[in-house]
Amino acid sequence: MNAPINSTINQPLTDTNEQNKEPMNMSVFSHPEFDNHEQLTFFSDEKSGLKAIIAVHNTNLGPALGGCRMWHYASDEEALRDVLRLSRGMTYKSALANLKLGGGKSVIIGDPRQHKSEALLEMMGRCLERTGGQYIAAEDSGTSVPDLQVMSRFTNNVAGITERTGIDGLPCNGDPSPATAYGCFVGLKAAVKHQFGRDDLSGLKVAIQGVGNVGYRLAKHLRQAGAELFVTDIHEEQVRLAVTELGATAVAQEEILGLDVDVLSPCALGAVLNDFSIPQIKAKVIAGAANNQLALAKHDQLLQQRGILYAPDYVINAGGIIDIYYERVGHEHTKVRAHIDTIADTLQEIFRRADDSGRPTGEIANTLAEERFMTR
Ligand code: NAD
């Protein structure tokens, strides 16, 4: 249980058959990503073509909630590894978001563009029903709100599917991005306060990598608070929007991480904080939405050694799951917003403990989460 959540394990898992490239054995209890998961269920249905795995990591704090991912996995082993790793991550995320939820995840093996059908989604709904409420599925890569709505014909164990008032007071179709962006804004402010001792963001230079659903909305919050924005994206139209609507400065993709700014906000990809990028980073705060920003666990410490304050990704990007949680317990957008504001308190506690102990922030976050979900 001590392995940090972002650790990457690359060693071979099983012997491989040279001819079909498929693992000959797929271990579960001795799998490197197995971490005392409570329940792992494999589903298959020949008629609809469904092949799915549901993993429940821990339910000490409540039912396990996490995305249902559909992906063209190269092997069953890859799908297993993903579901074990991601479900564990959800336990940590919900614990630090102060939610009465455990951690779970499901994966459907198949290319969403080719293999997704109404029958397959309906069957997935039936499978979710069979977990007896121990696991609740939400939208993830390869699945959409309408897909989850199809699943919901057969189960209540889905979340993030109802029309509601978003945290900004506007109608919301279930997309968690506005809540995630707001949480990142709140968390970024807490990190700036801790590192620079300032509440006012005016003139603060922030570089955002990826101005998509979350990054663009975060940029908007920052702009309203007076920050100076530098943005990049692989999609030119996204950059153009940020430049014309928010007065941002466009930056080349390869320059964004090393830009001379106060805050770096990764909102695109994982593993951007690595051996190559860390020595180039000039920002003194890293606060962004992207999942799994640390390429390896050791990069947490490298950032600390360079005096860079890292807001752990799964803490700062929890706004979306907080929003989804409230859909199940009574959604009131003012309550949701107030709950998302607590991301700042959690980060402050992490930063304080990191200062007191000399340990890096990612490690502290993992310890704090374990303190919360391991004591019933
Ligand atoms: P998105 O796809 O809407 O936006 C990502 C943006 O990054 C896109 O515009 C894409 O073109 C851009 N991008 C991709 N590769 C890039 C690169 N190499 N350089 C620059 N830009 C690049 O996704 P999103 O929903 O905004 O999520 C952003 C990140 O936040 C993802 O890592 C996601 O897992 C994480 N996250 C999102 C949510 C949410 O509520 N949407 C919640 C938690 C975490």
Q: Consult the annotation and say whether 211 binds a ligand.
A: yes
CA separation for the pair 60, 319 (Å, rounded): 21
pLDDT of residue 25: 63
**In whole angstroms, how far apart are CA 211 and each of 170, 219, 336?**
21, 8, 24
Residue among 96, 144, 180, 217 whose CB has most ligand 1 atoms within 8 A, to mutate: 180
Residues with Cβ within 8 Å of residue 253, at least 6 apart in sequence: 209, 232, 233, 234
Q: Token pair of 183, please? A: 């949480």
Mean pLDDT in residue range 281-285 = 98
Range scoring the smallest mean pLDDT among 6-15, 159-168, 195-204: 6-15
The closest-lying atom of ligand 1 relative to the alpha carbon of residue 270 is 32
The closest-lying atom of ligand 1 relative to the alpha carbon of residue 292 is 32
CA separation for the pair 252, 232 (Å, rounded): 6
Does residue 14 carry a pLDDT above 70?
A: no
Range scoring the smallest mean pLDDT among 25-34, 100-109, 260-269, 299-308: 25-34
Range scoring the smallest mean pLDDT among 13-22, 130-139, 277-286, 319-328: 13-22
- Note the CATH number of domain 6-161: 3.40.50.10860
pLDDT of residue 310: 98
Mean pLDDT in residue range 196-204 = 98
Nearest to 369 by CA among 101, 67, 25, 49: 101
- Using CB distances shorter than 6 Å, the residues near ligand 1 are 176-177, 180, 209-215, 232-235, 238, 253, 267-269, 289-291, 317, 320
pLDDT of residue 11: 27
Structural Rg of the chain based on CA atoms: 20
CB-count exposure of residue 301 (10 Å: 0-12, 13-18, 19+) = middle
Does residue 332 carry a pLDDT above 90?
A: no
pLDDT of residue 162: 85
pLDDT of residue 174: 76
CA separation for the pair 230, 162 (Å, rounded): 35
Mean pLDDT in residue range 186-199 = 98
| Helices H / strands E in the chain, number of each | 12, 13
pLDDT above 70 coverage of the chain, percent: 93
Q: How many CB atoms lie within 10 A of CB 238?
A: 18
pLDDT of residue 167: 83
pLDDT of residue 311: 98
> Judging by DSSP bridges, how do beta strands 39-45 and 50-58 pair with one another?
antiparallel
CA separation for the pair 303, 286 (Å, rounded): 9
Strands (E), 190-295: 205-209, 228-232, 249-250, 263-266, 285-286
**Angle between helix 333-357 and 319-329 (nearest 10):** 140
Range scoring the smallest mean pLDDT among 92-96, 174-178, 360-364: 174-178
Determine contact, residues 314/329, Cβ cutoff 8 Å: no
Range scoring the smallest mean pLDDT among 79-93, 98-112, 160-174: 160-174
Reported as type and span, the H/E element at residue 45 is strand 39-45
**In whole angstroms, how far apart are CA 312 and each of 91, 187, 254, 266, 286?**
15, 10, 23, 11, 9
CATH topology match: 6-161 vs 171-373: yes
User: How is the chain split into domains, by residue range?
Assistant: 6-161, 171-373
Largest CA distance in the chain: 61
Nearest CA to ligand 1 atom 4: 212
Mean pLDDT in residue range 66-91 = 96
Does residue 185 carry a pLDDT above 60?
A: yes
Does residue 75 carry a pLDDT above 80?
A: yes
The CATH classification of domain 171-373, taken from the options 3.40.50.150, 3.40.50.2300, 2.40.50.140, 3.40.50.720:
3.40.50.720
Strands (E), 148-262: 164-165, 171-172, 205-209, 228-232, 249-250
Does residue 12 carry a pLDDT above 50?
A: no
Mean pLDDT in residue range 115-122 = 98
Mean pLDDT in residue range 198-207 = 98
- Catalytic member of 51, 93, 100, 105: 105
CB-count exposure of residue 48 (10 Å: 0-12, 13-18, 19+) = middle
Mean pLDDT in residue range 109-132 = 97
Q: How confident is the model at residue 7 (pLDDT cuts 50, 70, 90)?
A: very low
Does residue 83 carry a pLDDT above 60?
A: yes
Q: How confident is the model at residue 376 (pLDDT cuts 50, 70, 90)?
A: low
Residues with Cβ within 8 Å of residue 280, at least 6 apart in sequence: 257, 258
Mean pLDDT in residue range 91-97 = 98
Say whether 51 is catalytic: no
CA separation for the pair 285, 280 (Å, rounded): 13
Mean pLDDT in residue range 46-62 = 97
Q: How confident is the model at residue 27 (pLDDT cuts 50, 70, 90)?
A: confident
pLDDT of residue 96: 98
pLDDT of residue 19: 39
Q: How confident is the model at residue 333 (pLDDT cuts 50, 70, 90)?
A: confident
Q: Consult the annotation and say whether 210 binds a ligand.
A: yes
Tell the residue number behind the tokens 């659903």, with chain if given: 213
pLDDT of residue 17: 36
Taking the centre of ligand 1 as the mean of its atom positions, its distance from the CA of residue 332, in whole angstroms, is 27
**In whole angstroms, how far apart are CA 169 and each of 335, 337, 341?**
12, 10, 16
Average pLDDT, rounded, for the chain: 91
In single-letter form, the type of residue at position 104 comes to G
Mean pLDDT in residue range 163-188 = 88
Q: How many CB atoms lie within 10 A of CB 248?
A: 26
